Amino acid sequence: MLISVSDERDAANADELESYIGRMRRPVVLELGGLTFMDSIDLHVLLRVHGDGRRRGGSLRLAAVRDVPRAGAGNVLDLHNSAEAAGIATLSPPAHRRRRPR
C-alpha cells in the first residue's frame, strides 16, 4: 500500500499518522516527497510503527526522504530514494530471509 504524506507533520497530527499507518496489515510504503516539515515526535511515530510492523511480519518503507539523518534513525528505518524503489524492495524478501546463491 502506498501512502503519500505532504505539508507539515508535527505534534498536533502525530497521533493521526500513527493510527492510520499502525492499523495497516500489509507492507506500507510511505512517500514523503511532499513533506515540508516533520518534527521529532513524528520521527518517533515512524520508529514505533516500523518496529510494531516488523514484529507482526509487515514492513514500513519510507520513500523520497530528505531530512531523516542516515545515521541514527536513518539506520533503523527502511529508506528509499523513490516510491518505485520502495515498492520493488517490498516485493523482495528481507535480507535476513534471503537465500544465498550456491
pLDDT digits (tens, 9 = 90+) for 24-79: 767 889 898 888 888 888 888 888 888 888 888 788 899 998 766 555 777 788 88
pLDDT of residue 31: 92
Number of H helices and E strands in the chain, helices first, is 4, 4
| Tally of domains in the chain | 1
The grid coordinates of residue 24 equal 495497516
The answer to the question of residue 101 being in a domain is no
Identify the DSSP state of 95.
G
pLDDT of residue 36: 84
CATH number of domain containing 62: 3.30.750.24
pLDDT of residue 93: 61
How long a stretch of residues is the chain? 102
The predicted model scores a pTM of 0.75
The grid coordinates of residue 21 equal 499507518
CA triple 65-67-70, angle to 5 deg: 85
The answer to the question of residue 20 being in a domain is yes
75: domain range? 2-94
The answer to the question of residue 70 being in a domain is yes
pLDDT digits (tens, 9 = 90+) for 10-20: 788 888 888 87
pLDDT of residue 52: 84
**Whole-number Cα distances in Å, 53 to 34, 41, 48, 101:** 24, 18, 8, 28
